Amino acid sequence: MRALWRIISGSFKWGWRLLNFIREFILNVFLVVLIIVAVGIYLQVRHTPLTSTKGALVMDLTGTVVDKPTMNNKVRQLGRELFGASSNRLQENSLFDTVDMLRQAKGDDNITGLVLSLKDFAGADQASLQYIGKALREFRDSGKPIYAVGDRYSQAQYFLASYANKIYLTPQGAVDLYGIATNNLYYKTLLDKLKVNSHIFRAGTYKSAVEPFLRDNMSDYAREADSRWVDQLWQHYLTAAAANRQITPQQLFPGAQAMLDGLRAVQGNTAQFALNNKWVDEVASRSAIDDALTKAFGWNKRDKTFNGISIYDYQSAPSSQQGGQIAVIFANGAIIDGPETPGSVGGATADQIRYARLDPDIKAIVFRVNSPGGSVTASELIRSELDAARAAGKPVVVSMGGVAASGGYWISTPANYIIASASTLTGSIGIFGMINTVESSLDAIGVHTDGVATSPLADVSMTKTLPSEFSQMMRLNVENGYHNFINLVAQSRHKTPEEVDKIGQGHVWIGSDAAQNGLVDQLGDFDDAVSKAAELAQLKQYQLNWYLNEPGLLDSLFTQTSASVYAVLPSVIQSWLPAQVTQVVDRLKMDVGLGLNWNDPQNRYAFCLSCEQMMR
């Protein structure tokens, strides 16, 4: 009886604890929602647009600029208030929202100038920087001054600062103009030591995405190909920035030795060196810069600074809703098979194209591609949907961002018209397959695999040597994929397969070369793509319908919370480890060879490894 009573009382006790947990969980959720609502109301009250007081728009970008942020602006602003600035370097800003606000401010009588405060700006691809630069030039040409303020300018920060009427630098500051480089990690020796066997099948002499698994260094073919577009990308940077500063590219960057000589002449004073080279207009203390900005924009007694409003607080005006609709659909990030994840392209993109095709109000599609490629299967799914939209009579214009290579070019082939930036990395027409097996690793520790199979093709396992028949089948499959790729390009670009093969073979082309090779129709930007879509659809008036998957409120809150936690945790962990170790770990985390979701059902990929680095 006593034992029975213990069982009953124990069950009651655990049941009561479960009820208490559920009650506390529900109350905590309710409290979190209440806090969100309260903070939302607070933000609405606090962050009001600049109305009666005139002043500057402060472009204080934090984090990166991307085509399609993983979090919407409202929730991001909420996160800034709730979690502070710890995750600012992880923040993503919409390229198109940034440009729209600059263009709105250009015509806003209450905005009398622009202040570029870019200390927390982590960068963007060069095509995006050029598009923002276009909006900055429009702002400056309207007669409103632009001032750049900084203690130190990174290369991306300086590119935007070069559009300013005046660039300020503090006395201990510097301008980091060094050039462009690509660096990949190579794992062959590591894989050999771990006794991991990498089975690689590739079509394309220059298809270097698999080299990290096959070599300990870059091949001559890859070095030749990458050297060309890296040099051209740097020349595009220098040409634009030098023109903004009204000097020659040689004056802007005289070379490493000349820079060393110049630094020696000023005893290593980097600020004076920047002034001597005409990189900046004035070296001044923060207080002197504040006085100059106060003189230009007036004094704000409440905030104890010059009159201005952050780009994050500036209210964008609603766009006019007239004319036919042009759908804007994004392919931003690596292409993966199955559901889409933040920062990648998946099945949701194909669904959006289908919805646009079936929507009678959509008259044309602008397909914005900023992707280094990925799964061949997923790329073909997206391509076929885009082809169906064109077949349905809806013009398709591809607007290429910083990267539209390999699978990114595959999904661009159905377009009526392709527009790329001069700095876009595209092409990389090639395919590879990759399967890693660990039978040697297991053998070394005394673990072995054995069994029976009805055919060699069924006996495929990562714990066994790949059957010869399966390897031959994989090679045929990859070669067939490459054959399909060049035929798709040949058909869409009105070339023969032999002509495409000559400019294919996995070769990466920069936009200006791609235009000469006939891989794109025109050099331009997103504005040109929208104008072309309106022209093809015969629309005199139009409105843009942005196809964006907005996450739910709770999903966004959890995402912001996770970002903040990840921003804090590394600093704690790094305090336990030597700095060199943490730097290597960070590099490994960035390496796309380890980070890509290799989930193609046929193990076939059209991916550009070097191109992906330019998206960071």
- Centroid of chain to Cα 563: 17
The distance in angstroms from the start CA to the end CA of the chain is 69
- Distance, in Å, from the CA atom of 348 to the CA atom of 135, rounded to the nearest integer, reads 31
- Looking at 208, 406, 412, 492, which residue is catalytic? 406
Which residue has 């990290």 as its token pair? 212
- Looking at 68, 106, 144, 207, which residue is catalytic? 207
Helix/strand/coil for 365: strand
Tell me the residue type at 244.
N
586 contacts: CB under 8 Å, gap ≥ 6: none
Which residue has 């490994």 as its token pair? 588
Nearest to 369 by CA among 430, 428, 431: 428
Number of H helices, E strands in the chain: 24, 25
Cβ atoms 428, 137 nearer than 8 A = no
The H or E element containing residue 382 is helix 376-391
Q: What are phi and psi of 103, to 5 degrees?
A: -70, -35
| 406 is annotated as an active-site residue | yes
Both tokens of residue 240? 């634009």
- Distance, in Å, from the CA atom of 472 to the CA atom of 479, rounded to the nearest integer, reads 11
Helix/strand/coil for 551: coil
Kindly give the pairing relationship between strand 63-66 and strand 92-94: parallel
- DSSP conformational letter for 58: E
- Distance, in Å, from the CA atom of 421 to the CA atom of 473, rounded to the nearest integer, reads 39
Both tokens of residue 129? 């920087």
Both tokens of residue 507? 């070769």
Instruction: Provide the β-strand partners of residue 396.
Output: 365
Residues 169-182: b if buried by 16+ CB within 10 A, e if exposed: bbeebbbebeebeb
Q: In whole angstroms, how far apart are CA 71 and each of 19, 48, 74, 557, 561?
A: 35, 22, 9, 9, 12
Q: What are phi and psi of 532, to 5 degrees?
A: -65, -40
Q: Which spans in 210-285 are helix H?
A: 211-214, 220-245, 249-252, 256-265, 270-276
Tell me the residue type at 71.
M
By the 10 Å C-beta count (0-12 exposed, 13-18 middle, 19+ buried), 125 is classed as buried
Cβ atoms 504, 486 nearer than 8 A = yes
Give CA torsion, residues 227, 228, 234, 236, to 10 deg.
Answer: -170
- Distance, in Å, from the CA atom of 404 to the CA atom of 608, rounded to the nearest integer, reads 9
Helix/strand/coil for 72: coil
Q: Helices 553-574 & 73-83, crossing angle to 10 degrees?
A: 40
Annotated active-site positions, please? 207, 406
